[in-house]
């Protein structure tokens, strides 16, 4: 498999947010990452694509510290984070949302936001954050940006799936991250909701200089919202390019989108 990339030529001239060099990871006989070399400039929107088990989530888990590579290194703005704990990496400015939103269903939307604010502020108690005017103001500003203000006093258990996804991402932004990782943001969202939801996410994120990596299976979403595509197959990156070029390669059409019949 030959990988071509228009991004690999001269990332040195740009300010890099993330660099992964020679990353290797195996689980027994299963190769989850092999010779992963990626340099991502600050502010870029990058989608990670590939079939289940291709290595996307392993890559994200190594960036966030939940898994340690067997070889290679990962740098965040030049700082080696390879062996750091997830908490230490979070404090350096890395945030993550999950395919299944990590929320407190019995609390209101604003209380969920304040819990997140307390965690990012290293507060011992959620109520310490709840009684601070700046914490409430910050939470309300994020709810406005993510078009969630109307749900402020609603219990999370009462909210539709798309709104929960937006809330999970809004909560991840309470710590002012430099790098945001989104795990299948449109998963479980109806076809009618997916574009308005992604518009809301990207508009909200566009107000801050945050670099975004998102795992996604919807090719329409990838083409519309990505600057760049990293396509994974069997633990390797088989394409690294603009959406138009990456999705047109034979390897991606064969192993990811299934639009090219395997010989």
CATH code where residue 259 lies: 3.40.50.300
Domain that residue 35 falls in: 1-83+214-263
Instruction: Return the pLDDT at 121.
Output: 62
State how far the alpha carbon of 63 is from the alpha carbons of 13, 27, 246, in Å.
23, 17, 23
Residue 9: band (very low, low, confident or very high) from pLDDT cuts 50, 70, 90: very low
In a domain, 68, yes or no: yes
In a domain, 51, yes or no: yes
Cβ within 8 Å of residue 112, ≥6 positions away: 103, 104, 156, 167, 171
Residue 237 has pLDDT above 90, yes or no: yes
In a domain, 20, yes or no: yes
In a domain, 22, yes or no: yes
Residue 6: band (very low, low, confident or very high) from pLDDT cuts 50, 70, 90: low
Q: What is the pLDDT of residues 98-142, one digit of tens each?
A: 777 889 999 999 999 998 888 876 655 555 555 577 888 889 999
Instruction: Return the pLDDT at 81.
Output: 98
Q: Which residue has the tokens 């690999």?
A: 8
Is pLDDT larger for residue 119 or for residue 237?
237
E-strand stretches of the chain? 16-27, 30-41, 45-49, 71-76, 79-80, 94-97, 179-183, 211-215, 228-233, 236-241
In a domain, 240, yes or no: yes
Q: Calculate the average pLDDT of the chain.
A: 88
Q: What is the pTM of this model?
A: 0.87
Segment 38-64 mean pLDDT? 95
Q: How many folded domains does the chain comprise?
A: 1
104 exposure class (CB count in 10 Å sphere: 0-12, 13-18, 19+): middle
In a domain, 92, yes or no: no
In a domain, 71, yes or no: yes
In a domain, 183, yes or no: no
């Amino acid at each position: 498999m030959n990988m071509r990339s228009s991004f690999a030529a001269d990332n040195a001239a740009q300010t890099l947010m993330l660099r992964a060099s020679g990353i290797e990871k195996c689980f027994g006989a299963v190769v989850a990452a092999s010779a992963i070399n990626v340099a991502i400039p600050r502010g870029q929107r990058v989608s990670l694509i590939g079939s289940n088990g291709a290595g996307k989530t392993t890559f994200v888990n190594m960036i966030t510290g939940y898994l340690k590579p067997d070889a290679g290194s990962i740098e965040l703005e030049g700082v080696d984070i390879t062996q750091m704990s997830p908490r230490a990496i979070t404090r350096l400015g890395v945030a993550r949302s999950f395919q299944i939103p990590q929320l407190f269903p019995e609390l209101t939307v604003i209380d969920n936001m304040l819990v997140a604010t307390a965690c990012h502020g290293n507060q011992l108690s959620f109520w310490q954050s709840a009684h601070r005017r700046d914490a409430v103001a910050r939470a309300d500003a994020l709810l406005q940006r993510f078009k969630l203000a109307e749900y402020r006093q609603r219990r999370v258990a009462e909210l539709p799936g798309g709104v929960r996804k937006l809330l999970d991402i809004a909560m991840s932004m309470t710590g002012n991250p430099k790098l945001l990782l989104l795990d299948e943001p449109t998963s479980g969202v109806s076809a009618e909701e997916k574009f308005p939801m992604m518009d809301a996410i990207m508009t909200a994120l566009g107000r801050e200089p945050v670099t975004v990596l998102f795992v996604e299976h919807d090719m329409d979403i990838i083409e519309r919202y990505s600057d760049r595509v990293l396509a994974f197959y069997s633990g390797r990156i088989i394409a690294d390019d603009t959406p138009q070029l990456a999705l047109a390669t034979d390897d991606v059409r064969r192993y990811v989108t299934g639009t090219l019949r395997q010989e």
